[in-house]
A and B are shown apart, each in its own frame.
Chain A
Amino acid sequence: MTLIDVVDSLRLNAIGLMAGMAAAAACSFLGVYVVLRRIVFVGAALAQVAGAGIALAFLIGPLLAGVAHRLMHVSGPLPHVGMALERLVRDPLAVSLLVTVLAAALLAKPAMGAAAARDARIGMTYLAASALSLVFIVRSPKGLDDVRELLDGNIVAVLNGDLIQMVVVFALVALTHAAFYRQILFVSFDPEMAATQGFRVRRWEQLFFATLAVVISVAISKAGLVAVFAYLVFPAATALRLVRRMGAAFAVSVALGIVATIAGYVVALLADLPTSPPTIGVLCAFWLAASVYRWRRPLE
């Protein structure tokens, strides 16, 4: 592999690379909240739920397509419903998104009584989603490999339409976070104080978890389950080792996610590997380097 090959590959697969960077940026941004609030396993659980949603979509797709086809041949307003349903089942993302947002609403509920209540809910959601994924995959008419391929994700095979979909969704999430930055931040880190100051804590919690669910679902269908979980944890954990201010933490986390995507792609090209494993390797190397740096120069 020569230097020209590397430049050519970056040029030819610019769409895939941009999709990877978009997924990295969105997950790395939300990752700062996830890591600081110590809800890393919410990310894992929602990622698993999104995966189960994709498997479920493959399982029920033929059934829903049959219903949509029947509705399209009935008089009245039902053909429109049929056409909408037909469009919906064509993309497994729709089912995945719905299931993940519902799971996020469940996890967003504040802990009742014992401090471990949310922890237990996260664990149970993760386990239930893992078990259901296996059941759906084994029963899926699309076959084990087709579903696994989607869960593994691969930015090399991203299409132009996928990139547009990702950019639109992530832009909406970014706008929501920009508009309600103060509220989400306050409610995330000091819910009691926020409540005494009149913030509707429950509502802002639900909003944060809903945006997390949307980002995870969309990113997983293009970048894969493991890569998305890595983007949620590594860049934020690394950024929080390097900087103290929240604004700086968000910026460094997003930058690290994007740089790791490009570096991981180049390593994948040189070592002739799929893109996810080298990207996670680079994220891990960043975290180790930041840890060594902080060990040698501790924060005062």
Chain B
Amino acid sequence: MKTPLALLVAAAAASLCMSRAAAELRIITVDTSLADIARQVAGDRASVESLARPSDDPHHVVARPSMIVKLSRADVFARIGMGLDMWADALLDRSGNASVQPGGKGYVDCSRGLKALDVPSGKIDPSMGDLHPEGNPHYLLDPAQGILAAGNIAAALIRVDPSGQPYYHSRFVQFGERVKAGLQRWSTALKGLPNRDVVPFHRSWAYFLARFGLREFGVLEPRPGIEPSPGHVGALARLMKQAGVKVVLCESFRSKRWPDLLAGQCGAVPAFVPVAVGADPQAGSYIAMFDTIIERLVGAAG
């Protein structure tokens, strides 16, 4: 009887030592894109983990018990905000970690300072679909807003770990330069598109399209969060055919059924692209994710 008890105590002591040994800063982010941005800024001064997996729909992530433990140990919690990651609220509340609650030192809403697009005017009615009152929350699909998110994360890291300020600042500047170099590369690649109209599945692409001078011709979802009907697809396909629109842009976590149906009816090409780091073998980092998106978009546009 004594031996199992001794083993249990030893295991508990060992796990306590292990957790003490890894006493670096812990950053928890809601998704893998923010995790990569946080990694670029924090370098080797912090460990970074994402709550959502790369293949998750960022609107609806199924809560797992492990998430509460991660949040309870976090020094910094970075979220997309603007109502996109409301699934994290109950977990945050359960974690009992005061420093990562809204207003806490380690709490980061990465949308802080954003000039939001698609802010609904007038009264929002639930029949309008899954609308976000604060505006379109998919700002991380504009690489330039990735710099904004990095700045917000850097500010939180400096609050939590003031001695690391020069380190975080210099890494933030380097990340910004890499993104700016990418922006030039991607803008050049998209310049030659024969038709600047695209049809996205969900209204996730407002910031991306605005950044690269592309236009949203129509949206496959009739209202945000509502699945298309065959009638809506047919009507959209006719309009696309008339206007010569060639690209249906769709996040890779979604079903291929509707984009394939629409593309098949009007001779367009669906581009299934990663919208989170790691959602595709080629999208190993935030910058590599945009390389992949642009490559597939250009490929689909022919």
Contact = CB atoms under 8 A, between A and B. Distances in A.
Nearest to B65: A269
B69 A272 contact: no
Contacts of B95: 12
Given A9-B65, A9-B68, A273-B64, A141 B129 contact: yes
Contact of A269 (B66, B90, B129): B66
A91 interface: no
Give the one of B11, B94, B128, B224 with max A CB within 10 A: B94
A141 B65 contact: no
Interface string A136-160: 0010011111101100101011010
Interface string A262-287: 00010011001111000000000000
B243 interface: no
Contacts of B189: none
Contacts of A79: none
Contacts of B65: 9, 13, 156, 265, 268-269, 275
A92 interface: no
Contact of A12 (B94, B127, B224): B94
Contact of B127 (A1, A141, A269): A141
Interface string B212-244: 000000000001111100000000000000000
B126 A4 contact: no
Interface residues of A, number: 34
B96 interface: yes
A197 interface: no
A2 interface: yes
A5 B226 contact: no
A112 B11 CA distance: 63
B225 A274 contact: no
Given A9-B68, A268-B65, A3 B12 contact: yes
Contacts of A141: 125-129, 223, 226
Contacts of A272: 64, 66
A4 to B, nearest CB: 5
Interface string B1-35: 00000001001100110110000000000000000
Contacts of A154: 62-63
Contacts of A269: 64-66, 69
B148 interface: no
B87 to A, nearest CB: 8
Contacts of B159: none
A268 B60 contact: no
Contacts of A5: 15, 66, 69
B69 A9 contact: yes
B226 A8 contact: no
A174 to B, nearest CB: 27
A61 interface: yes
B225 A3 contact: no
B57 interface: yes
Give the one of A9, A146, A274 with max B CB within 10 A: A9
A62 interface: yes
Contacts of B177: none
Contacts of A142: 126, 130, 225
A145 B126 contact: no
B137 to A, nearest CB: 15
A16 interface: yes
A9 B62 contact: no
Contact of B63 (A61, A159, A274): A274
A173 to B, nearest CB: 26
A8 B126 contact: no
Nearest to B67: A156
B59 interface: yes
B72 interface: yes
A137 to B, nearest CB: 9
Contact of A62 (B15, B57, B127): B127
Interface in B59-114: 59-60, 62-69, 72, 87, 90-91, 94-96
Interface of A: 1-5, 8-9, 12-13, 15-16, 61-62, 138, 141-146, 148-149, 152, 154, 156-157, 159, 265, 268-269, 272-275
Given A12-B72, A12-B94, 4 more contacts: A1-B66, A12-B68, A154-B62, A157-B91
Interface of B: 8, 11-12, 15-16, 18-19, 57, 59-60, 62-69, 72, 87, 90-91, 94-96, 125-130, 223-227
9 contacts: A2-B15, A3-B12, A13-B68, A141-B226, A142-B130, A142-B225, A143-B226, A157-B91, A273-B64
